[in-house]
Structure 1
Amino acid sequence: MADPVKRRYDTSRRREQARENRRRILAAASGLFREKGYAATSMPEVAKAAGVAVQTVYKAFANKATLLKAVFDVTVAGDDEDVPIAGREFIAEIQAEPDAARKITLYFAHLASVAPAVSPVQLLARDAAAADPAAAEVWAQMRAETLTAMTYFASDLMLTGQVRPGLTDTDVRDVLWTYHGPEQYELLCLERGWPPARYGEFLRDAVITAILD
């Protein structure tokens, strides 16, 4: 009969090895996607860069599009911990703030801080979607998740009583969703060379003007 202590130890080691492999794969994929683009990056290249077998990559991520989505999720969160964005500290700070303008300021300051890492991954997915059906599904999922997040943010802003009269939750959500899009970062930062802080301030001012009384 196997020693139960040894079995638990072996299981724990396997889980930790799987987590480490996942971290290495995500780091390798992120670098390759940014350097070469989505279409030019292959799963065997990711495996080689991560120092694992290609079968290990496919075991962790069913296909390249799934891997791209995982890279995006980790980039947004800043880590690979199993904590949803809604449970993150910066969201709690925004929710606790009673003033609508301050909520918007906090949110877009955070967005500007992560945009240099996050927006290029979103743009990779958007561009890949034109030629890869699996990437198109991932891009649609990214957009849907953003819309859901902005739905919650809009509701939070409506509760302050400071939103311009006549605007509905849907109106506020759509304004937030539009300014949240990576296209704004692409135009202002990548094409026009704005620093991220200025980009964040522009979004903040535009949203405050558009939705607050």
Structure 2
Amino acid sequence: MSTPDPKRSYDATRRRERAESEREETRVKVVEAATRLFAEKGYTATTVSQIAQEAGVALQSVYKAAGSKAELMHQVVDVAVAGDTDDGLVQERPPFAAFMAETDPVAKVRLFAGMICDVQERLAPIQRAQSESAAVDATAATYWRNAHLLRRETFDFALRTLPPDRLRRSHEETTATAWAIGSTEVYTLMTTVLGYDRERVRAWLADTLVDALLRT
């Protein structure tokens, strides 16, 4: 009976780890390339071949990384929301921890407005592409709807930490109001159509949410 070779087992583990690392590096390249092209050209005008060329990878690598163009759009949105390619929910990130630790309702809503703007600054450039994807692809439309519902769930969780006696309306209406005002569509209107710069739109959203959500 042969004795297991520890070195061979170690080498196999190292090879698997190296292969996994290479796959993740490729996925990051593909998502970054897709983000640039979706922002520049839109969803329908961007092809998977163009994304592969932009990423400097083989066409098959794009499909291995994402599976489909709709799935790739979904990954682009996820990275934009999170701000990086690490796994984990928004609720697990340091800004959310600071929000949860704040006890003053007004300061808490202002922190929340800042968090919304952080996300929307990253989402706004691909908002047109995301809307296009939902209009032409059933899978992408499902991702689009689920992304909005997930954002509402996040708002619901966060705003439940506000004292009920300080809310102007019910918790459900408070969540719906913040969810609508804090949308990518509104952010894009304020910055693109009205021309608000970064600091002005942040101040506007913070003031608007405080006035809309809290009793004085």
Quickly name the TM-score band, shorter chain normalised: over 0.9
Map of 1:134 onto structure 2: 139
2:153 is equivalent to residue 148 of structure 1: yes
Q: Is the 8 A contact 1:123 1:182 kept in 2?
A: no
Deviations 1:56-75 (A, max 9, x none): 11112121111111111112
Q: Does 1:11 align with 2:11?
A: no
Query: Aligned residue for 2:209?
Result: 207
Q: Could you say which residue in structure 2 is the equivalent of 1:180?
A: 182
Change (3 A) 1:155 1:123: farther
Instruction: Give the CA deviation at 1:28.
Output: 0.6
Q: For 1:36, which of 35, 38, 41 is the aligned residue?
A: 41
Q: Which letter does structure 1 place at the counterpart of 2:59?
A: V
Structure 1 unmatched runs, 5+: none
Structure 1: distance between partners of 2:202 and 2:131: 22
Give the conservation status (yes or no) of the 8 Å contact 1:112–1:197.
no
RMSD of the alignment, in Å? 1.6
Please tell me whether Structure 1 or Structure 2 has the larger radius of gyration of its CA atoms. 2
Q: Structure 1 residue 162 and structure 2 residue 166: aligned?
A: yes
Is the partner of 1:156 in helix, strand or coil? coil
Offset from partner CA, 1:173-199 (integer Å, 9 cap, x none): 111111111111121101121112211
TM-score calculated relative to the size of structure 1:
0.92
Distance in structure 1 (CA, Å) of the matches to 2:178 and 2:212? 10
8 Å CA contact 2:31–2:76 kept in 1: the answer is yes
- The residue identity in structure 2 corresponding to 1:162 is R
Aligned positions, number: 210
Identity of matched residues, %? 30
Contact between 2:82 and 2:119, CA under 8 Å: does it hold in 1?
no
Which residue type is aligned with residue 157 of structure 2?
Answer: Y
Question: Which residue, 49, 58, 68 being the options, matches 1:53?
Answer: 58
Structure 2's unaligned 5+ residue stretches are none
Pick closer, same or farther for the CA change 1:131–1:193 going to 2, 3 Å: same
For residue 97 of structure 1, the aligned residue among 96, 102, 126 is: 102
Q: Which residue of 1 aligns with 2:193?
A: 191
